[in-house]
Structure 1
Amino acid sequence: MTSGLDDRPSATMFTVENLVNMARSGEIRIPHFQRDFRWQRQDVVRLFDSIVRGYPVGSLLLWRRPAPAQVLKLGSLEIQAPAVSAARWVVDGQQRITSLASALIPDASRDPRFALAYNLRDQEFVPTPAEEEPLIVPLPVLFNLTRVLQWFQKYPETLEYVDRANNITQTLRQFQIPAYEVSQNDVKVLQDIFDRMNNYGKRLSRAEIFSALFADDEGIKNRLTFDKIAEHLDEDLGFGTVDNDTVLMAMLARRGPDVKREIRNEFGGEEGGSRGNHLGRAIIDFPDEARDTAYQLGEAAMRRAIAFLQEEAGVPHVGMLPYRHLLVVLTRLFAHHPSPDSRSIRLLRRWFWRAAVVGPEVFKGSTTGAVRFLVFAVKPNDLTGSIQELLSLVDYPKTPPPDLRRFRSNEAATKIVLCSWWANMPRSLDDGNPFDREDLSEVLLDRPTALDAVRYIVPRSTIPHEYRLWAANRALVPVMEANVASIEPLVTQRPLKLSEAAWQAALASHLISSNMASLITEGRTVDFLKARQAELQSQLTSFLERMCEWNFENTPSLTSLLVEDLAEDVGRA
């Protein structure tokens, strides 16, 4: 049984300025059993908004004990931390402290999650603009009194807002956060506290539990985590941020087909994996594999799966991936079959889109059942058999296409629609150039859906209520002007820098004809929506017929058939 604390916690208060300075100096440390940083930009904005409003932001729990000299990473902040005799290790409050330090220290605030500014006119926190705007002050400037004064000297036309800026600066620096500090030698006691705090009322995710179980010692440099894997995949492929639970499930799928298996003994132990399918024990394809090797090869397999999605299946970004479990299945397949032939790639694309259209509901237990059946279909030494079994599991050719009368960016049906639009190679209505994956990646950042890349064609408020959810009033336009109410001016009036032919081509890439645009100009908005809805339906049907290939034979590649024939000949000999 775990013992209790040696001494009672001492209560204290830290200002935001105190916490930022301690983080900068390397006095703040993150213990290995802590979860990875998981907040997104909107969470960081909410924290700062609460501070300026004077709302409570919760208390901290800090563990006082020595810390070695090390290169410390706190969010996007990298610190050459010296040895500290009584460092403050964060047991509870990592997300808040990391967000404060990363957003308020200049070198760290380049990360899009933390690149925030304060709009003095609108009195709200916003992303830092690409170019300086006098009334939008970056938080590292606002947090430093000297830099605030320099800002107003540089932009004297904004002096009427100087009092407001000073108030925000003072509030940020002096805001107090309560903290409990404990001194305890037994790490298991702190792990027990951490477990209780994160499982009573707000449970840890499976990925967070896994990360804590296999975190190991603090001193291992550059060790892969689920956050780092997701970061690498986004940086290198522009696919967006894959959530940690999906990364975990993909890594587990690579190592064995039962992705719901007990994870506490994944890398050894009495209940460890087995090469065979024994009752009560999981099938592990790599039973002697070390933790770091599993992470590295898991990332490599995910990389191949994502490349397939982007280059062959037409899914450019995770925000347009209909179901996350399909990435898990693909990761297992590309782990065991890293270089499929062209015929297998085509059949795999066919399977992917059939599975996306059919959805997980055809499997017992919905998504849980789908991932179980599909992952088990992938056999390590049989690419042809794996793909054939995958195809057999989604053989429902009469499945209707998504309903275009309901456009919700967080729903699988809408993500399928968005992929069909992407296949039409949408162009900018401003300059006529086609959008690319980099445009999507830049606009969507860490977003889980493609909402920020979608624009209304005409203002939503001008449309009768029964048509407001229709896909016909949306267009895939991944540009940074997210606050634009609609793109109606670009649809109804040709920009001077575009030729008529280029403008018509840009409109056509969004399935808008000149006749449709004229309906908007004439005020016949509903007629426009009906006309475009019909065009979208035709394009979606054509896209799915091309991708799903329902009426085609699932004949394996000629190479695999020859191999089978040779094997039979050898057997007869």
Structure 2
Amino acid sequence: MGTAGLETQPSATTYDLEDLVANAWEGKVRVPHFQRDFRWTTQDVLRLFDSVVKGYPIGSLLLWVRKSPAQELTLGRLKIEAPAYEETLWVVDGQQRITSLANALHLHSHFHAPFSLYYDLAERQFIPPPKTREPQHIPLPVLFDLEKLIDWFATEGRSASEYFKEAQRVAKALRQYKVPAYLVRQDDEKILTDIFDRMNNYGKRLSRAEIFSALFAGPEKGADDRLSLSRIADRVADRTGFGTIDTDTILSSILARRGPDPARDIRNEFDPTGRRTPPEFPGEDRDTAYKEGEEALVRAVEFLQNHAGVPHLSLLVYRALLVVLTRFFAHFPEPEANTLRLLRRLYWRVAVSGPAVFKGSFTQVGRVLSARIKKGDEHASVKGLMEAMAEAQPTVPNPERFKTNEATAKVILSAWWSLAPRSLVTGEPYDAQDLSSLLGDQTTAATVAYRIFPRGLSPQQQFLAANRMFLPTDTDPVSELPVLLTQQPVDLDDSTWEAVLGSHCLDRAMLNVLVQGDRNRFLTLRQAAIAAQLRDFLGRMAEWGYEDTPALDSLDLDDLEELDDLSQ
């Protein structure tokens, strides 16, 4: 290891947060294209601002000072037309912090998660977007800008005037907060990437997708126009409404499309001389692999939505199955109807019996099943997939433990979705758009799986599926479920109301018990109905009693005729 490094030591400085954010908005702060994707959640951004106002340290930034051309920049949700500067600040360490500050305090990006934050002047704390805006809830961009702050208290926040001093205090703390930074002045980009690699591998391990993105980032020029793993995730979400798939799954899907082992070594992916097995798409470059991988992934998602009854990522039982399906639809873009039926069986058999077949190790599912898919032979591929589950036994998950981040709840929610759940107020069925708009990028359906009785039950009863309802709505008064269930809306006739109840595994007998105040009996009755509906759903989707045979047109009828002749 050589000892050559920086020609001059980094210089230490501090920035007022107000100046740092202004620099970012003007395009004087830029993020190298090999940086990891932004991955902070709303809670991370809340904690950052809480630390700032409390005067806590938020860590030093490491910034590379260099000349930069005019270009259109993307910083979080911000699009910035940046002019050329003799000196710009390229972020080597601190991207998550700078992106959060610049977006949460800007009027345009403030409307997008995870940057949409408010300050509760009464409770003296930062909060996510409240379901009901109160006068004391002030948006961060307004709080940050003194002129807008004064206008807000003269108009929208007039009734919260008693909190003006608190707003002044927080606004001053934000603007004047000192952010420490080290400035590196060095022309050699290799040294910069070496610093980046060392800082992100001492105590903080990069994800596989981040390593892959850095290895195959390509030149800085044109980076904004090229696909990346995170852009593919965003594009697939926009095209399908399925939600935002994590970049590690995106990468595994792209790799599965190009070869039977999605867990293979990534460093030689586009170098055929360094690969242990030849690529299935020889000569394909990174950009083509990304583009075609996205198309195959979209087809796999559409299969889940339109054939397998999985409308959103939050209901996907195992992401390894999405990787396998991407490989299948890459090689067979338009499968036969019988193949689609068999793939549906496969999904649901793996979903409920996979842990037993694969001994609970789902790290191998993607590899084992992907290896069964043979380029150019649809029938052999689907046959091989079904044979991998030959030992699977009919299984029905236990609905007595309903946790939205676990496989059982995802299966139950898919079963409920097949009933076309209806609004308890209007009687209208919810659609996939309702689900997509409410769940967005969430990985569980916790926000639309409401508890009927949030309190007053034993811990065991709280976990029952019978205490949950699937209601993708932002208008129905879901906080009053016991009341809603016992009061048929006056504008809904009896047949419509019974259809509404049936769409939630309910009936009038259960509601009569609820009206009498017998919660235990109500839960027992509904739990039995849920278990029966779940058995029926899985029976239809997994089709355990059917032969997993190929379509008739895949059989060689000439061979059958020869066998028939020999038997005579």
For the residues of structure 2 that align with 1:283 and 1:354, how far apart are their CA atoms? 32
Greater Cα offset, 22-31 or 179-188: 179-188
Partner deviation per Cα, 1:491-521 (whole Å, 9 max, x = no partner): 1223445444433322221111122122222
Mapped pair 1:479 → 2:480: no
Number of the residue aligned with 1:277: none
Number of the residue aligned with 1:409: 404
Partner deviation per Cα, 1:433-472 (whole Å, 9 max, x = no partner): 111111111221221111111100122x211222121111
For the residues of structure 2 that align with 1:113 and 1:264, how far apart are their CA atoms? 33
Q: Give the CA deviation at 1:536.
A: 0.4
For the residues of structure 2 that align with 1:316 and 1:124, how far apart are their CA atoms? 36
Q: Give the CA deviation at 1:325.
A: 0.3
For the residues of structure 1 that align with 2:446 and 2:494, how far apart are their CA atoms? 30
Cα distance change of structure 1 residues 456 and 364 upon mapping to structure 2, 3 Å threshold: closer
Matches within 5 A, 1:340-355: 340-355=335-350
Greater Cα offset, 29-38 or 330-339: 29-38
Mapped pair 1:375 → 2:378: no
Contact 1:38–1:95 (Cα < 8 Å) also in 2: yes
**SS of corresponding position for 2:403:** coil
Partner deviation per Cα, 1:115-161 (whole Å, 9 max, x = no partner): 22223334343344699653322221111111111111113222112
TM-score by length of 1: 0.93
**SS of corresponding position for 1:167:** helix
For the residues of structure 1 that align with 2:557 and 2:420, how far apart are their CA atoms? 39
Number of the residue aligned with 1:446: 441
| Structure 1 counterpart of 2:430, from 435, 454, 457 | 435
Cα-Cα RMSD: 2.3
Cα distance change of structure 1 residues 282 and 488 upon mapping to structure 2, 3 Å threshold: farther
Number of the residue aligned with 2:500: 506
Cα distance change of structure 1 residues 503 and 254 upon mapping to structure 2, 3 Å threshold: same
**SS of corresponding position for 2:352:** helix
**SS of corresponding position for 1:180:** strand
For the residues of structure 1 that align with 2:289 and 2:90, how far apart are their CA atoms? 28
Cα distance change of structure 1 residues 138 and 184 upon mapping to structure 2, 3 Å threshold: same
Q: Give the CA deviation at 1:429.
A: 1.2
Number of the residue aligned with 2:566: none
Partner deviation per Cα, 1:161-218 (whole Å, 9 max, x = no partner): 2222222222222222221111122222221221122111110000000011111122
For the residues of structure 2 that align with 1:198 and 1:343, how far apart are their CA atoms? 48
**SS of corresponding position for 1:377:** coil
Greater Cα offset, 514-523 or 369-378: 514-523
Unaligned runs of 5+ in 1: 274-280
Matches within 5 A, 1:419-430: 419-430=414-425
| Structure 2 counterpart of 1:542, from 524, 533, 536 | 536
Q: Give the CA deviation at 1:286.
A: 1.4
Number of the residue aligned with 1:103: 104
Amino acid at match of 1:218: E
**SS of corresponding position for 1:106:** coil
Contact 2:402–2:464 (Cα < 8 Å) also in 1: yes
Q: Give the CA deviation at 1:350.
A: 0.9
Number of the residue aligned with 1:400: 395
Number of the residue aligned with 1:170: 172
Contact 2:357–2:392 (Cα < 8 Å) also in 1: no
For the residues of structure 1 that align with 2:359 and 2:424, how far apart are their CA atoms? 45
Cα distance change of structure 1 residues 537 and 396 upon mapping to structure 2, 3 Å threshold: farther
Mapped pair 1:465 → 2:494: no
| Structure 1 counterpart of 2:225, from 218, 222, 227 | 222
**SS of corresponding position for 2:371:** helix
Greater Cα offset, 323-332 or 508-517: 508-517
For the residues of structure 2 that align with 1:261 and 1:299, how far apart are their CA atoms? 19
For the residues of structure 2 that align with 1:293 and 1:327, how far apart are their CA atoms? 20
Q: Give the CA deviation at 1:481.
A: 7.0
Unaligned runs of 5+ in 2: 564-568
Partner deviation per Cα, 1:344-402 (whole Å, 9 max, x = no partner): 11111111111111124522681122111100011111111111110111124534211
Amino acid at match of 1:35: R
Number of the residue aligned with 1:528: 522
Matches within 5 A, 1:264-303: 264-268=267-271, 270-271=273-274, 273=275, 281-303=276-298
For the residues of structure 2 that align with 1:56 and 1:501, how far apart are their CA atoms? 62
Amino acid at match of 1:219: K
**SS of corresponding position for 1:181:** strand
For the residues of structure 2 that align with 1:564 and 1:200, how far apart are their CA atoms? 65
Cα distance change of structure 1 residues 364 and 540 upon mapping to structure 2, 3 Å threshold: closer
Greater Cα offset, 64-73 or 354-363: 354-363
Greater Cα offset, 315-324 or 40-49: 40-49
Identity of aligned residues (%): 49
Amino acid at match of 1:175: Y
Cα distance change of structure 1 residues 361 and 482 upon mapping to structure 2, 3 Å threshold: farther
Matches within 5 A, 1:186-335: 186-220=188-222, 221-268=224-271, 270-271=273-274, 273=275, 281-335=276-330
Amino acid at match of 1:199: N
Contact 1:240–1:447 (Cα < 8 Å) also in 2: yes
**SS of corresponding position for 1:11:** strand
Number of the residue aligned with 2:67: 66
Q: Give the CA deviation at 1:546.
A: 0.2
For the residues of structure 2 that align with 1:497 and 1:182, how far apart are their CA atoms? 69
